[in-house]
Structure 1
Amino acid sequence: MTSLRRHHERHRTDRIGWLRAAVLGANDGIVSTASLVLGVAAASSSHNSILVTGIAGLVAGAMSMAAGEYVSVHSQADTEKADLERERLELKAAPAAEQRELTAIYVSRGLDYKLAAQVAEQLMRHDALGAHARDELGISPALSARPIQAAVSSAASFSVGAALPLVVTALVPEQLLISSVAGTSLAFLALLGAIAAQAGGASPGVGAARVTFWGALAMAVTAGVGTLFGAPV
């Protein structure tokens, strides 16, 4: 009898939870902090005021990202938990009906009825709730909501992203501040976009261009506001 060994492959969907939070956090960190620095610099503020404003933006942004991501993903986790509990009750109350429902799902995916019924029967016997969670509800371990992981990833990546334009702000002289922060921030965004696209299996060039475009637009608008009003924004 042939022995069956489980072959575990790593797929890009395995990392989608933390990758999304990390990329979003780093992108927001660079864009929001660089835009804030440029807006305040365009309003002719002092170098020290610009740096303090940027640091305050880093702290506030990291906490906001963590809180927002936690609440959002926790809501998803609550929904998944409620759906699983309802499915558990339905399996207990009407297992035959639930098996027919699973059979219908497999038929809709291309199996003939007899084979679909056999698959449904065996999966129900092995792990009924797991089968329905995966094939009816679309809930899987790789894609399930992890609020704490998402919150920590977002806060940490935002802080790293925000630190990049702040380091440039601290190091360059005031007369070169706007051009240096804008140029390096766009370079950071392009690199981030390329890395994120590569990790997700997409085109690095397209990813870099997309992130850079929106980052440049945000910085230009904020700098314009600072110039127009001549006061910190």
Structure 2
Amino acid sequence: MITLSLVGIGSGNPDHLTRQAVQRLETADVILLPRKGAEKTDLADLRRMVAGEILSTSPKIVEFDYPVRDANTPKYLDGVNTWHDALAGIWQDLISRHLPSDGHVALMVWGDPSLYDSTLRIADRLVARGLQLKVDVIPGITSLQMLTAAHAIPLNTLGAPVLITTGRKLRDDGWPADADTVAVMLDGECSFTHLDPTGIDIWWGAYVGMPQQVLKSGALANLSEEIVATRAKARAESGWIMDIYLLRKS
């Protein structure tokens, strides 16, 4: 039986690593470390720093190149499933080559493995392929937590629900019915520009928790174009961007 630990490492600040996360990584025989292209070396460098400077042990580090999802697949979910299959194949190959049959392998997951992340679904694919696998999850600080903390706001209003969704759903379906507050993740197209901004406030952040953190907040009608321009500039300078925002009807 192989143990696979999916360890949440927060949103870019090594100070946000929990003691549980550090301890779990220290017990691993192998840590798989993804490389996501030259433009995202910051993400790999953070993981290397955690492994090399924070851990008191020296697990074997096995780096691998992340496959690129085909954005031209006509059906979005078909493209995602093909991408996940490719990742599962890479994991299975690396585990078989670098880990004993009863070993412990870990992955450092940006944010938290259970919130808009696919590592758990990829682990399920390994089990479906017949790999004897025990999966455990170490929670991490999420970008959503970092966003609300950075802006010093509560996630919800009194007695009101919060809906967490994607930019694609916001573009396709508009403002969710009966929602007072909407948190939007995985949005590469500034989908708030598809909404009627009247009466909506926005709290936006990019690289939350990292040294280059950028924040904007206020009425969506006043900030929409500014956020689009700020995001484009930040992405051009860094070569990549991770951002998240909260919308609330005022």
TM-score (norm 2): 0.25
Higher helix share: 1
Q: Which has the higher contact order (CA 8 A, sep 6+)?
A: 1
TM-score (norm 1): 0.26
Higher strand share: 2
